């Protein structure tokens, strides 16, 4: 059938690219060619892994588990049991501990939770990002259900993530002095400056038509009354919590030690400390634990041996594969003939 007059031909243009005439290189992967690659990987990965392990080992870390601390008002009852029976009340307890070495600055305080699945699909999507940008609406996003309304009022911030905000209050004492802790500088700057914004106007008036999350003891405008820039949706404790963890055992940054105070300018001195806890957050019901972690950091972050071991393991595997290919090359290399030369029998005729 002839092509209709004036119709455009579908035949590709007569170019090297469209007619697939471009020169191509097809490497022949032989034992001799692959062997140097594996040795090079081993030479790079093993030193990097050893360096990462060294940097991880110089990080100082101390953990205090306070899941089952005993109530200060009733030494025979744990705070975990107390708040399970009185969910609207708080429990106070103290845990003494001793640092056997000086912690060099900068010292960070984390809270750690275990068996807590923040990575559940419905939990992760249970939020309203437009609301957190200060664009309050009624009704809030349907993703927040069933934490979208409290009675007839919409909730701000809505959703399961905000509703489950970690609300234990942790303070440290060294001898007779309180360790000065900073509530700011703990969230990612990108989150603080871009993803979370307060609505315009005075916070209390901006949220007057909205209810606090069901499990909260404070309103959103009361999270940090002493520091207006760290209040409302821009509160850094809230921002840190809203960045969900990928694994069920995780830690989140809680405070920074203020090293501008003379007693702690060189870090945390060794000695006896007391952790005071206003115990509000229940974890015993799902078999979880809570802990406070003191830690400083290195160039690569906190104490974590996984990455160093991973580099070393990959480097060792590459080294043994390189040895394997070297043995194959020595054993099976054709004598006197290059591996990449094709030998043609001249007596063979081709028609």
Secondary structure in 3-state letters for 167-180: CCEEEEEECCEECC
Is 60 exceeded by the pLDDT of residue 49?
yes
Helix, strand or coil, per DSSP, at residue 131: helix
Q: What is the pTM of this model?
A: 0.82
Give me the pLDDT at residue 351, please. Answer: 47
Q: Is the pLDDT of residue 302 over 90?
A: no
Query: Taking 90 as the threshold, does the pLDDT of residue 119 lie above it?
Result: yes
Residue 255 has φ and ψ, to the nearest 5°, of -150, 165
Q: What percent of the chain has pLDDT over 70?
A: 93
CA angle 93, 98, 99 (to 5 degrees): 130
Tell which phi-psi region holds residue 176, choosing left (phi > 0), alpha (psi between -120 and 50) or beta: alpha
Q: What is the pLDDT of residue 336?
A: 53
pLDDT at 338 > cutoff 90? no
Look at 28-37, 45-54, 245-254 and tell me which has the smallest mean pLDDT: 28-37
pLDDT at 346 over 80: no
Residues 266, 107: contact at Cβ < 8 Å?
A: no
Whether the pLDDT of residue 299 is over 80: the answer is yes
Residue 8 has pLDDT above 80, yes or no: no
């Amino acid at each position: 059938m002839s092509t209709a007059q004036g119709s455009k031909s579908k035949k590709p243009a007569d170019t090297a690219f469209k007619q697939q005439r471009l020169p191509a290189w097809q490497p022949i992967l032989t034992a001799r060619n692959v062997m140097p690659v594996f040795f090079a990987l081993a030479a790079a990965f093993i030193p990097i892994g050893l360096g990462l392990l060294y940097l991880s080992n110089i990080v100082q870390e101390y953990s205090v588990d306070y899941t089952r601390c005993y109530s200060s008002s009733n030494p025979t009852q744990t705070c975990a049991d107390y708040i399970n029976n009185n969910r609207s009340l708080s429990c106070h307890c103290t845990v003494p501990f001793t640092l056997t070495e000086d912690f060099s600055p900068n010292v960070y305080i984390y809270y750690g939770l275990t068996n807590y699945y923040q990575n559940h699909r419905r939990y992760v999507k249970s939020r309203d990002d437009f609301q957190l940008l200060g664009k309050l609406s009624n009704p809030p996003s349907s993703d927040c259900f069933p934490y979208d309304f409290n009675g007839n009022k919409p909730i701000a911030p809505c959703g399961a993530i905000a509703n489950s905000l970690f609300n234990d209050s942790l303070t440290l004492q060294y001898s007779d002095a309180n360790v000065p802790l900073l509530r700011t500088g703990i969230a990612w700057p990108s989150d603080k400056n871009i993803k979370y914004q307060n609505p315009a106007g005075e916070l209390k008036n901006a949220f007057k038509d909205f209810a606090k999350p069901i499990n909260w003891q404070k309103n959103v405008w009361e999270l940090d009354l002493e520091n207006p820039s760290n209040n409302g949706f821009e509160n850094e404790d809230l921002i840190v919590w809203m960045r969900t963890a990928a694994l069920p055992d995780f830690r989140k940054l809680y405070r920074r030690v203020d090293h501008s105070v003379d007693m702690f300018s060189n870090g945390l001195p060794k000695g006896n400390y007391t952790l005071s806890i206003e115990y509000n957050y229940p974890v015993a019901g799902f078999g979880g634990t809570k802990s406070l972690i003191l830690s400083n950091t290195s160039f690569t972050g906190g104490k974590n041996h996984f990455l160093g071991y991973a580099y070393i393991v990959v480097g060792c595997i590459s080294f043994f594969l390189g040895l394997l290919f070297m043995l194959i090359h020595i054993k099976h290399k054709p004598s006197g003939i290059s591996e990449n030369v094709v030998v043609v029998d001249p007596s063979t005729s081709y028609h």
